[in-house]
Amino acid sequence: MSNPSNVLKTKPWGAFFYRDYRFLWGALILGSMAVWMRILGTAQWLLDETGSAYWVGLIGVVQLIVQIPTTLWAGTLADRWDRKRLMTFSYGVTGITLVGLGVLNGYELLTPALIYLGIAILAGTQMLSGPARSALLPIIVPSKDLMLAVSTDTASSNSAAIIGPLLFAVVALSAGLTTVFLLAGALALVASVLPHRIRAAGSAEQVDNAPKLTQTQQTIEGFRYVSKHPILPGLFLLDAGITTASFYREILPVLALGLFAGGAGVTGFLGTANSIGAIAGAFFALALVGFRAKGMLVLYASFAYGFILFGFGMANALWLGVLMIGLLGAADAVTVAVRQTTIMLTTPDEMRGRAFALMILAAQTANNVGTIWVGFWAGTIGAGNTMVMGGFISIAATALIWIFWKPIREFRSEA
């Protein structure tokens, strides 16, 4: 194929005509499967062992403590070191840690303290790879095709997220959580090999005559860049406000039990439905590549997310809950695609790792605070009422950004 860009304009799978993207995709899909199996496996282990939503919600506390400093460090490293090597290191440590959890559980030596230690390590390695991978994509795919490539990327990662929860459900029910941890570790170890196959340069371009800065100075420089950006702070705040009030992915075992009186099977089913919805949302974003008002697209999707939360919280049948959580995934996928594309298009390569790190930091902090929030309120007022409350807060947060952040309303990308 002589011109991959022409393919990308018409085919959602056109990104695969870029050789390096295929290896980047392979690492993404295997790593995403491992992450989902880890998320559901550790939460299910804690719920089975303690029987308490509060102990599951404590996952957010552990991750929050680890991910804030790790993400800032990872973003600066992605602009200083070889991004491909960072990905290999991250996936490798992830695989070894998951295998370790599986072995400990197999010998009945695993305890809540060790689970939380494993979660802390895995949260750190996940954050280490994120900025490096995101910063590589604009080097591999031309800027004019980034919205299509990011949407394809989103669909692919959510395809892995379908397989991950399904594998979790099947393996957990048939072979137990020990095998879940071992299989997730094996997937991560395979993912660690793939970045070495990428031919594109792994190190960031350096500005001529730029002063040599320490890692701390570069981190501060990244903060300054993002804080002065006309669009990114508003997008990050919007995502943080909505996610804090409604984050459900790490707490799915609690929601499955509270809403539908289900166990690991229902947890995997809800996770799969959410990922299918996210894939649909990513393809919807592909169809809207020509829609230039990308900022308004984020706002529309965020309003939809809030209203769908009402439906999820009030679902009185599993089929309705599956539909609602699928729609939540679709709305979220649209906002993810636009946020990532905006960073790639508006940030120079030498700053991109830090910009993505701050986006991930905002998102993961909100995820962890949201896990604590949802876990606490689900144990206090019930899972359904917690989701309905999250819907009200999400709509209010979106309305505030709509009113007070004019650059988002006016943001237009190139046709």
113 in any annotated domain: yes
Q: Which has more pLDDT, 108 or 263?
A: 108
Residue type (1 letter), 372: I
Q: Is the pLDDT of residue 163 over 90?
A: no
What long-range pairs does 405-411 form, CB within 8 A, spacing at least 24? 405/234, 405/237, 405/238, 407/230, 407/231, 407/234, 407/295, 408/231, 408/234, 408/235, 408/238, 408/295, 408/298, 408/299, 409/295, 409/296, 409/299, 410/295, 411/231, 411/293, 411/294, 411/295, 411/342
CA angle 275, 338, 307 (to 5 degrees): 60
Number of domains composing the chain = 1
6 in any annotated domain: no
pLDDT tens digits, 99-149: 999 999 999 999 999 999 999 999 999 888 888 888 888 888 777 677 777
Look up the domain containing 116 and give its range.
16-198+214-410
180 in any annotated domain: yes
pLDDT tens digits, 238-249: 888 888 888 877
- In angstroms, rounded to a whole number, what is the distance separating the alpha carbons of residues 241 and 256? 24
242 in any annotated domain: yes
E strand or H helix at 245, and its extent?
helix 232-246
Question: What local confidence, expressed as pLDDT, does residue 110 receive?
Answer: 92
pLDDT band at 205 (very low <50, low <70, confident <90, very high): low
Burial annotation 274-284 (CB, 10 A radius, 16+ → b, else e): bbbbbbbbbbb
- In angstroms, rounded to a whole number, what is the distance separating the alpha carbons of residues 247 and 255? 11
The CA distances from residue 17 to 8, 25, 143, 200, in Å, are 9, 12, 16, 15
Crossing angle of the two packed helices 349-381 and 215-228, in degrees rounded to 10: 80
Question: What local confidence, expressed as pLDDT, does residue 5 receive?
Answer: 46
Residue 119 near residue 102, CB atoms below 8 Å: no
Report the largest interatomic distance among the alpha carbons of the chain, rounded to a whole angstrom.
63
Q: What is the mean pLDDT of residues 158-169?
A: 80
Q: What is the CATH number of the domain that holds 320?
A: 1.20.1250.20
Tally of residues, the chain: 415
E strand or H helix at 182, and its extent?
helix 177-191
Residue with tokens 């394809």: 152
Question: What local confidence, expressed as pLDDT, does residue 7 receive?
Answer: 44
Percent of the chain with pLDDT over 90: 25
Q: Please report the sign of the dihedral spanned by the C-alpha atoms of residue 280, residue 281, residue 282, residue 283.
A: positive
pLDDT band at 8 (very low <50, low <70, confident <90, very high): very low
The contacts of residue 412 (CB under 8 Å, 6+ apart) are 292, 293, 294, 295
Q: Is the pLDDT of residue 1 over 50?
A: no
7 in any annotated domain: no
**Nearest CA-CA partner of 379 in 258, 246, 273:** 258
209 in any annotated domain: no
83 in any annotated domain: yes
Q: What is the mean pLDDT of residues 294-313?
A: 88
140 in any annotated domain: yes
Residue 7 region by backbone torsions, left for phi larger than 0, else alpha for psi between -120 and 50, else beta? alpha
- In angstroms, rounded to a whole number, what is the distance separating the alpha carbons of residues 217 and 245? 33
